Structure 1
Amino acid sequence: MTDRECLELAARLARDAAVAIMAVRDAGVTVTRKHDRTPVTEADHAAEALIVRGLRAATPDIPVIAEEEIAAGRVERPGERFWLVDPLDGTREFAQGRDEFAVCIGLVAAGRPVLGAVALPATGELFLGLRGAGAWKQDATGRRPIAARRPPPEGLTVFASRHYADDPRLVRYLAGLPVARVRNAGSALKFCRVAEGVADLYPRFGRTMEWDTAGPQAVVEAAGGSVRTTDGAPLGYGKPGFANPDFVCRGLP
């Protein structure tokens, strides 16, 4: 299967998972806790089952690393190429009735994300990125190319994590930058707004996992932006334990 075909596969599965998530939301959400005390819902499990089943059927030679399987103790060994799946990024927002949640699917090769699909179920938006080919947004009006922007003269629009809004590390990082506004939001939505040129900067201080970022990073980088650690190194994949360091997502310099 070509990378373009893999992208369309990820797009279809992200859309289908979005439908499944919204069906759970409409029926009423029940929240339980995983062993690490983070929340999980039936929507997380339903979306993940749909996605991993589709990926394994279509690309049986590519390992799938998925958040809820990891939580349950099922860990596939990453290969040269592997999928990373967060079936419901922003479970806390989803459980609270907010619209800031996402479905994230990314394909990694040689430690770098090569393509990604990110669905925002509550808004009906789908963001796609393929390294070397470009990035797109799909909604009710169709699919169109998107691109990261250069910061406007009035200053940076910054998106920051809702749950780390008062983090002193964020305050120190933004000090001295020409910031026009700061918006707090949950989930991979923040990456998407940078990729489509609505925002300029998303600094992340605090725990994230590879499945949270692989698909969104692919979209941002395909749109011309960048995702790097705070010391300037590329954010890579296949790390022991799959935990990310702090990073900065930005549009064009």
Structure 2
Amino acid sequence: MASDPIYAGIELSALLPVLRQLCWDSAAILRAYARGTTPPFGYPPVLSVSDDPKSPVSAADLAVNEHLLSGFASAFPGAPWTILSEETVAQWPQGTPIEAEWLWILDPLDGTKDFLQGTGEYAVHLALVHHHRPVVGLVLLPELDQLWIGVLDHDHAQAWCESPSGERTPVTFSVRVAPAELIPVTSRSHRDDRLEPLMDALGVADGIARGSVGGKVAAILRGETDLYVSLSGRSAPKDWDMAAPEAVLLAAGGAFTHADGSPLLYNTGDYRQAGCLIASHGVSHQALCQAAARAMASIDPDFPL
């Protein structure tokens, strides 16, 4: 890199090693809970639901959350940022943006149902947001030993995948462009009745299902799929679902917007990322958004994009 980007007064070269270690620690914790083995770092085992008032997945959530928060505090004491985690969101007043120029948005376990069902399609999300937009994102896929990292700054953007040994592999978007060739990645667990007619209207190919938004975006980054559409209202994904995957996708040269072309905004006072959201490898993004907006005008004219 020509220069070392600085975030909240901390150079990227000092930030990334800590984030990497926290992510791989989180992978070890989650895999232990998933397999019923003793978690590392002294976190308590949960042998069955009856052994603890919390479910095993809650224990895994909370253990990773504690590890991340304590890791940030230890490595960066006094750093001028605030941390919002899905597990600690209740401590913040609803309907009001958090007063922070720099905000970490964490999801210790994205894809809870997949974690419980043993599909392996769960993730950990870490995103640094500056003035409502992500500038750094990490998406950890523990069962694939993949850590996707995206960095955005004024001079350049870069994204890559790392193994536990630190070996890097590049993003490999597909070369598919025509709508009929584009392969969507869809949700295993969350479906809106309007999604199927929307996908039919877009004229894309048959899709594949993946758990976790991070897992869906990673499928685009690997070139296995080309687009992901989130269509929802009250049950919309939240800031912590979208911020890290979006950061990595944008840093790789992809796109993630509302169907009307407007950007996703974070820490607005409403954690929901509602509407018709489209993530893609970027090449066909504008055409996809325009087609989706036209289709939604017929499918549900009152649906906010």
The TM-score normalised by the length of structure 1 is 0.88
Tell me how far apart the structure 1 counterparts of residues 65 and 203 of structure 2 sit (CA, whole Å): 40
1:139 aligns with 2:155: no
Residues matched between the structures, number: 246
Question: Could you report, residue by residue, the CA deviation over 1:182-210 in whole angstroms, capped at 9, with x for unpaired residues?
Answer: 11121020011112322110001231111
Alpha-carbon deviation of 1:105?
0.3
Q: Tell me if structure 2 keeps the 8 A contact 1:126–1:139.
A: yes
1:80 aligns with 2:101: yes
Tell me how far apart the structure 2 counterparts of residues 170 and 19 of structure 1 sit (CA, whole Å): 36
- Alpha-carbon spacing, 1:40–1:205, altered in 2? closer, same or farther (3 Å): farther
1:23 aligns with 2:36: no
Residue of structure 2 equivalent to 1:221: 250
Tell me how far apart the structure 2 counterparts of residues 183 and 78 of structure 1 sit (CA, whole Å): 39
Q: Tell me if structure 2 keeps the 8 A contact 1:65–1:78.
A: no
Q: Which has the higher contact order (CA 8 A, sep 6+)?
A: 1
- 1:42-191 map, 5 Å: 42-59=59-76, 60-71=79-90, 73=91, 77-131=98-152, 132-139=156-163, 142-152=167-177, 155-165=181-191, 167-187=192-212, 188-191=214-217
SS at match of 2:160: strand
Residue of structure 2 equivalent to 1:240: 269
Tell me how far apart the structure 1 counterparts of residues 197 and 56 of structure 2 sit (CA, whole Å): 30
Bigger Rg, which one: 2
Gaps of 5+ in 1: 33-37
Give RMSD over aligned pairs. 2.4
Tell me how far apart the structure 1 counterparts of residues 56 and 246 of structure 2 sit (CA, whole Å): 24
Match of 2:18 among 9, 28, 31: 9
Q: Tell me if structure 2 keeps the 8 A contact 1:10–1:116.
A: no
Of 197-206 and 97-106, deviating more is 197-206
1:204 aligns with 2:225: no
Match of 1:250 among 273, 280, 283: 280
Tell me how far apart the structure 1 counterparts of residues 11 and 149 of structure 2 sit (CA, whole Å): 15
Alpha-carbon deviation of 1:145?
2.0
SS at match of 1:113: strand
Q: Tell me if structure 2 keeps the 8 A contact 1:160–1:190.
A: yes
Tell me how far apart the structure 1 counterparts of residues 60 and 258 of structure 2 sit (CA, whole Å): 31
> What is the one-letter code of the residue matched to 1:55?
F
SS at match of 2:143: coil
Residue of structure 2 equivalent to 1:35: none
Tell me how far apart the structure 1 counterparts of residues 202 and 119 of structure 2 sit (CA, whole Å): 30
Tell me how far apart the structure 2 counterparts of residues 44 and 25 of structure 1 sit (CA, whole Å): 11
Of 138-147 and 227-236, deviating more is 138-147
Tell me how far apart the structure 2 counterparts of residues 148 and 4 of structure 1 sit (CA, whole Å): 26
Alpha-carbon deviation of 1:170?
1.3
More strand by share: 1
- 1:26-37 map, 5 Å: 26-27=35-36
> What is the one-letter code of the residue matched to 2:253?
G
> What is the one-letter code of the residue matched to 1:79?
A
SS at match of 2:270: helix
Alpha-carbon deviation of 1:230?
2.5
Q: Tell me if structure 1 keeps the 8 A contact 2:135–2:151.
A: yes
Question: Could you report, residue by residue, the CA deviation over 1:155-174 in whole angstroms, capped at 9, with x for unpaired residues?
Answer: 01110111234x32211221
> What is the one-letter code of the residue matched to 1:252?
G
